[in-house]
Structure 1
Amino acid sequence: MVLRTAGSVLVVFLWSVTVVLGQYGWSVTYTTQSICTLKGSSVEMSCSYKYPSGHKVTSTFWFTKMKTGVEPEDIGQDPEYAGRLEYHGDKKKDCTLRITDLRERDSATYKFRFTTDQTEGRYYGDPGVTLSVTALQVKVTPSHWSQWKKLTCKTTSYPLTGNPTYTWYKNGQVVTVKTSTYSVIPNDKDSYSCAVKGHEDLHSPAVYKPKNTSVSVSPSGEIVEGSSVTLTCSSDANPPVDKYTWYFQNETFLNGFGQIYNISKFKSKDNGHYHCEAQNGRGSRNSTALMIILPGVSSHSGHTHFSHHCRPAPSPTRGPSPDPDLDPGTATTATTMSTPPIITAPTVAIAAAKPPAMNSELLLHPQTGSGKEG
């Protein structure tokens, strides 16, 4: 196995052998049979071909899918590759292909095909070039010490060979260059990412605790007693949120541990303040409190009647301390209100940001045979 770096491209060549297959003067030569590289990089598949004298090449293309009796599809016509293919070959002997801005779904076996002006002049070369594209990610796990977190820079699918060195980032700034693991005592506001040394332009997405946590309610219009009410907790986090907890009047629901909480028949006893907590391996974040009240409910001795039903709750006169990451004066929960709010508008639904994996060994088996068609 050979680990080669060239410019901004990290490429791992497995079984770096020249493959020549052909018959009766027909052949396709793939310089490299298998390539493993990183998402976002570029790759060049070196290739050359031969054909009998007296033939003139009329068409050339690369393909990844072929069915018996069906002409393979030129990847140059696939919208997935739009703007990312560079064919460096010609209609004489060179069939080199370059693919830029690689994506994980580009992983496939690529084969070259050409046709000539003769009736029997159709040929493709096996086994082709197997391309495996993988991305970097940071996995967060508890360390042996309670405050510490172990960060591991790993690939999402195919493992890289050669024991590369990694560059670690904190809030976008380089903090160390070392192995694939890094232990820290993280601050809730910090984010961490990694890259293979020498290829820092291909670093992993940053990991961070949940942020922008919010609650939205459905229906957003008038809530009628006995109707169904659905609350949704949204949060931006990486790694994704793995636990949601719901609170009503500062008390947890016995079964309130999913992203969505449903009240099948909303009654007056359900009037009050709701908020959620989103948690991942980096930490947790509370939403602001949302107050839901049925119309026509008296809130205090003055019998003030409300004309609408949901709104973010104002700051409580007493209750738990607000989340330090929220703006001053924003409540995470509410228990006792000094003056009931006059609600005049429904709550605005808050959009969720969905963040974006598994390591498996790459098993590559050379294929045999070539495709000469009559």
Structure 2
Amino acid sequence: MVLRTAGGRLSLLVFLWSVAVVLGQYGWSVTYTTRSICTLKGSTVNLSSSYTYPSGTVTSTFWFIKTFDVENYVNLRNDSDYNGRVTYHSDKTNGHTLTITDLRESDSATYKFRFITDQTGGKYFGNPGVTLSVTDLQVKVTTTWWSTTLTCSTTCTLTGNPTYTWYRNSKIVQGASSPSYTFYFKTEDSFYCAVKGISSPAVCECD
């Protein structure tokens, strides 16, 4: 919009006012600390975010994965699938953390954070969210004529470069970043791997 006056001052004022109105529509954001997490069944995970808004007071904050319609977001605390396994923690700098305990493979989903303010239309959630993949531990066996290699396997790459601990008859035989363990003689011993206290099913290498 351009209005002309003899000195041009009015047109400049109107232009600046228009810019201010456009900028006033912004200022809403949600930032996720991590966008993708792969972790183990039975473990605990923390999903973190921070948010900004232009004005007003925040009246409600929550995480969700389900919606029933355009404006009906299901707070995880009210979702029967997460009963007793979800806690929220907020800090003074607009940070918000979701903790889920006793993870199940069915918890694999994209989690999003939503907040509501006391301003008209003051509702916002952040895309794309945090993609959580929950996997269990399985042991794959590779045998040659002279050795057997056991590999602790997951359906996704575990977040955080975890340490794999190998047990032979319940005694630790290897603790390292490698998910594989090799031995060179036939045995009836029982082997299993563990990550962060979560164990795989046992494997017996019998003659």
Give the TM-score, by structure 1 length: 0.43
Tell me the CA shift for residue 67 of structure 1.
Answer: 5.8
Matches within 5 A, 1:180-199: 180-183=180-183, 184-187=185-188, 190-196=189-195, 199=196
2:83 corresponds to: 82
Which consecutive unaligned segments of at least 5 residues does structure 1 have? 1-22, 209-281, 285-374
Which consecutive unaligned segments of at least 5 residues does structure 2 have? 1-24
Tell me the CA shift for residue 283 of structure 1.
Answer: 5.6
Is 1:206 the counterpart of 2:202? The answer is: yes
For 2:143 and 2:65, the matched residues in 1 are separated by: 42
1:49 corresponds to: 51
Tell me the CA shift for residue 32 of structure 1.
Answer: 1.9
List structure 1 segments (4+ residues) > 3 angstroms apart after TM superposition. 160-165
Indicate how the Cα distance of structure 1 residues 68 and 83 shifts in structure 2: closer, same or farther if over 3 A, else same.
closer
CA RMSD of aligned residues (A): 2.8
| Higher CA-based Rg | 1
Q: Which amino acid aligns with 2:131?
A: T
Matches within 5 A, 1:67-216: 69-89=70-90, 93-145=94-146, 149-155=148-154, 157-160=155-158, 166-177=164-175, 179=178, 180-183=180-183, 184-187=185-188, 190-196=189-195, 199=196, 201-208=197-204
For 2:112 and 2:160, the matched residues in 1 are separated by: 27
Matches within 5 A, 1:293-308: none
| Same amino acid, percent of matched pairs | 59
Contact kept in structure 1, 2:166 and 2:192, CA below 8 Å: yes
Tell me the CA shift for residue 165 of structure 1.
Answer: 5.0
1:337 corresponds to: none
Tell me the CA shift for residue 140 of structure 1.
Answer: 2.5
Tell me the CA shift for residue 163 of structure 1.
Answer: 6.8
Q: In the comparison of the two structures, how many residue pairs are matched?
A: 180
For 1:92 and 1:58, the matched residues in 2 are separated by: 15
Q: Which amino acid aligns with 2:145?
A: H
Of the two structures, which has the highest relative contact order with CA contacts closer than 8 Å and spacing of 6 or more?
A: 2
Structure in which a larger fraction of residues adopt helix? 2
Matches within 5 A, 1:271-350: 282=205
Q: 3-state SS of the aligned residue for 1:181? A: strand
Q: 3-state SS of the aligned residue for 1:73? A: strand
Structure in which a larger fraction of residues adopt strand? 2
Tell me the CA shift for residue 169 of structure 1.
Answer: 0.7
1:369 corresponds to: none
For 1:164 and 1:42, the matched residues in 2 are separated by: 14
Indicate how the Cα distance of structure 1 residues 66 and 191 shifts in structure 2: closer, same or farther if over 3 A, else same.
same
